[in-house]
Chain A
Amino acid sequence: MSTEVSTNLPPHPEKATLEGKNKVLGFWLFLGGEVILFGSLFATFIALRSSFGSGPASQELFSLPLTAVATFILLTSSLTSVLGIQAMHRNDLSGVLKWFGITVLFGVAFLGLEIYEFFEYVHEGHTMSSGAFGSAFYTLVGFHGAHVLGGVCWITGLIAKLPKKGLNVVTAPKIYVASLYWHFIDLVWVFIFTVVYLMGKVG
Chain B
Amino acid sequence: MTAQANHSEENKSLRPQEGPKRHIITFIVSIFLTALAFFAVAYMPESPFVIPFIVLIGLVQAGFQLYVWMHLDQKGHEFPAIGIWMGVFFVTAFIIVFIYWLGGY
Does B bind A?
A: yes
Residues of A near any B CB (own CB < 8 A):
11-12, 15, 25, 28-29, 31-33, 35-36, 38-40, 42-44, 46-51, 64, 67-68, 71-72, 75-76, 78-79, 82-83, 86, 89, 180, 183-184, 186-187, 190-191, 193-195, 198-199, 201-203
Q: List 21 A-B contacts (CB under 8 A).
A: A29-B83, A31-B83, A35-B84, A35-B91, A36-B90, A46-B98, A47-B101, A47-B102, A64-B41, A64-B42, A82-B23, A186-B65, A187-B65, A187-B66, A190-B58, A190-B61, A190-B62, A193-B34, A193-B37, A194-B55, A199-B55
Known: A32-B87, A35-B91, A187-B62. A194 touches B57 (CB 8 A): yes
A-B contact count (CB 8 A): 139
| Smallest Cβ-Cβ distance to B34: which chain A residue | A71
Contact A79 B70 (CB under 8 A): no
- Minimum C-beta distance from A69 to chain B (A): 11
In the complex, how many residues of chain B place their beta carbon closer than 8 angstroms to a beta carbon of chain A?
A: 51
Known: A32-B84, A40-B94. A183 touches B69 (CB 8 A): yes
Complex Cα gap A72–B32 (Å):
11
Contact A75 B30 (CB under 8 A): yes
A contact face: mostly helix, strand, loop, or mixed? helix
Contact A199 B51 (CB under 8 A): yes
Contact A47 B51 (CB under 8 A): no
Complex Cα gap A29–B101 (Å):
29
Contact A199 B54 (CB under 8 A): yes
Residues of A within 8 A of B94 (CB): 39-40, 42-43
B20-73 CB contacts (< 8 Å) to partner A: 20, 23-24, 27, 30-31, 34, 37-38, 41-42, 45, 50-51, 54-55, 57-58, 61-62, 65-66, 69-70
Nearest 10 pairs of A and B residues by beta carbon: A39-B91, A35-B87, A28-B80, A32-B83, A194-B58, A47-B102, A43-B94, A47-B98, A43-B98, A47-B104
